[in-house]
């Protein structure tokens, strides 16, 4: 049986690379490609796929929001997140939102094939590194670490980008938003977290390993 995969990524080179990897296997094929979150949601509603490969960073909607909508429309459809972000930034948010797995784009092709087969069969997939990280988190006092869970995905993304040293204009470009909108997210994030300024937010992000 062929596993029919919808790949959602706004970079044509990434989609082409994924297609080449899957074409080299006998049991899976990319049967749909989407460049935006809204396009992906529509394709899931209109077509039959066995699983979705979903990027976190999309030009119109945050990947976790796209994931939530896909799961609302098709609760049993497995979604594997494929992201350039470190596991500790978005993995737990994605899994809580219904993802069947989370992989970094730097993972080996053989890992991707294994993950697709596992997720398509109804199981969960997380990397060994992420599993170790989750185990370590269980041994910590997580009261402070949970603080940033009150943030929306866009507010959380703003916090991470600020801590990574990005300027307002750079954040706007990365998030495909206006600088004014990013400023609104930044203000909401500071208010929710109780920070007086950007420096306090950056210190928190660094101390809680939200950036590499």
pTM for the complete prediction?
A: 0.68
Q: How far is CA 149 from CA 89, 137, 211, in A?
A: 11, 14, 15
- As annotated, the residues of the chain forming the CATH 1.10.10.10 domain(s) are 145-207
What pLDDT shows up at residue 114? 93
Question: Which tens digits make up the pLDDT trace of 22-70?
Answer: 999 999 999 999 999 999 999 999 988 999 999 988 888 888 889 999 9
Taking only the tens place, the pLDDT of each residue in 147-193 is 787 888 889 889 989 988 899 999 998 888 899 999 999 999 999 88
- Domain 3-135: which CATH number of 3.30.56.10, 3.20.20.20, 3.40.50.2300, 2.60.40.420: 3.40.50.2300
Contacts of residue 130, defined as CB under 8 A and 6 or more positions apart, other chains included, come to 87, 88, 91, 102
Q: Where in the chain is the domain with CATH 3.40.50.2300?
A: 3-135
pLDDT tens per residue, range 82-130: 888 765 667 877 888 899 999 888 888 899 999 999 999 999 998 777 7
Which position has the higher pLDDT, 75 or 84? 75
Taking the CB of residue 139, how many other CB atoms lie within 10 A of it? 7
Q: Domain spanning 145-207 has what CATH number?
A: 1.10.10.10
Listed residue (47, 28, 120, 36) closest to 79, CA to CA: 120
The residue with greater pLDDT, 38 or 1, is 38
Q: What is the pLDDT of residue 88?
A: 61
Residue 138 has a pLDDT of: 58
């Amino acid at each position: 049986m062929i596993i029919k995969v919808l790949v959602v990524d706004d970079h044509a080179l990434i989609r082409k690379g994924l297609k080449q990897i899957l074409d080299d296997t006998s049991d899976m094929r990319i049967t749909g490609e989407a460049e935006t979150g809204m396009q992906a949601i529509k394709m899931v509603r209109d077509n039959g796929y066995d699983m979705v490969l979903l990027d976190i960073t999309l030009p119109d909607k945050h990947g976790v929001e796209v994931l939530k909508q896909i799961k609302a429309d098709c609760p049993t459809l497995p979604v594997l997140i494929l992201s350039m972000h470190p596991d500790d930034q978005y993995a737990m948010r994605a899994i809580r939102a219904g993802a069947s797995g989370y992989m970094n784009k730097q993972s080996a092709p053989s890992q991707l094939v294994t993950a697709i087969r596992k997720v398509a069969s109804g199981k969960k997939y997380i990397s060994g590194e992420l599993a170790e990280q989750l185990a370590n988190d269980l041994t910590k006092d997580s009261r402070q670490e949970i603080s940033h869970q009150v943030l929306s995905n866009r507010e959380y993304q703003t916090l991470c980008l600020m801590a990574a040293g990005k300027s307002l204009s750079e954040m706007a470009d990365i998030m495909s938003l206006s600088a004014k909108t990013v400023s609104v997210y930044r203000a909401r994030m500071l208010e929710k977290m109780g920070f007086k300024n950007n420096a306090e937010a950056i210190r928190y992000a660094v101390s809680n390993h939200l950036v590499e």
